[in-house]
Structure 1
Amino acid sequence: MPVRIELRRFRTVEPVWDTLIEVYAEVRADRLHDPHYSVERYAERLARHAVEPGWETVVGYDGDVPVGYAYGNRIEYGDRYWGRITSPLPESLTRTPTLALKEIMVREPWRKTGASIAIHDDLLSGRPETQVTLMVNPLAGDGKVHRLYETWGYTDLGVSQPSPDSPVLTAMVRALRVPTS
Structure 2
Amino acid sequence: MNTAQVSLHRHTTYTPQVRDVIGQLYAEVRADLLNHPNYRLEVFLERLDRHGTEPGWTAVLAHAPDGAPVGYAYANSIAPGDRWWKRLNIPAPRTFTNRDALAVKEIGLIPAWRGIGLSRQIHDALLAGRAEPHTTLMVNPAAGDGKVMRLYQGWGYKEIGVVQPSPESPWLVCMGRLLYV
| 3-state SS of paired residue (2:3) | coil
Letter in 2 for 1:106: L
Q: Percent identity?
A: 51
- Say yes or no: does 1:168 pair with 2:171: yes
- Determine the structure 2 residue equivalent to 1:59: 61
**Alignment correspondent of 1:8:** 9
Could you tell me how far apart the structure 2 residues matched to 1:70 and 1:118 are? Answer: 10
Structure 1 stretches (4+) deviating beyond 6 angstroms? Answer: none
Q: Which runs of 5+ in 2 are unaligned?
A: none
Secondary structure of residue in 2 paired with 1:35 = coil
Which AA in structure 1 matches 2:71? G
- Give the superposition deviation at 1:159: 0.1
Deviations 1:86-109 (A, max 9, x none): 112233321132100000001111
1:85 corresponds to which of 82, 85, 88:
88
Over the aligned positions, Cα root-mean-square deviation in angstroms equals 1.0
Q: Within 5 Å, which residues of 2 pair with 1:125-140?
A: 125-140=128-143
1:146 pairs, out of 145, 149, 154, with 149
- The total of aligned residue pairs comes to 178
Unaligned 5+ runs, structure 1? none
Q: Please report the TM-score for the alignment, with normalisation by the length of structure 2.
A: 0.95
* Partner Cα distance (2:28, 2:97) in 1: 34
Q: CA deviation at 1:138?
A: 0.2
Q: Which amino acid letter does the alignment assign opposite residue 150 of structure 1?
A: Q
Counterpart CA distance in 2 for 1:43 and 1:93 is: 28
For residue 159 of structure 1, give the secondary structure of its aligned residue in structure 2.
Answer: strand
Does residue 76 of structure 1 match 2:86? no
1:111 is aligned to 114
Instruction: Verify the 8 A CA contact 2:93 2:160 in the aligned structure 1.
Output: no
Task: Determine which of 25, 32, 37 is the counterpart of 2:39.
Answer: 37
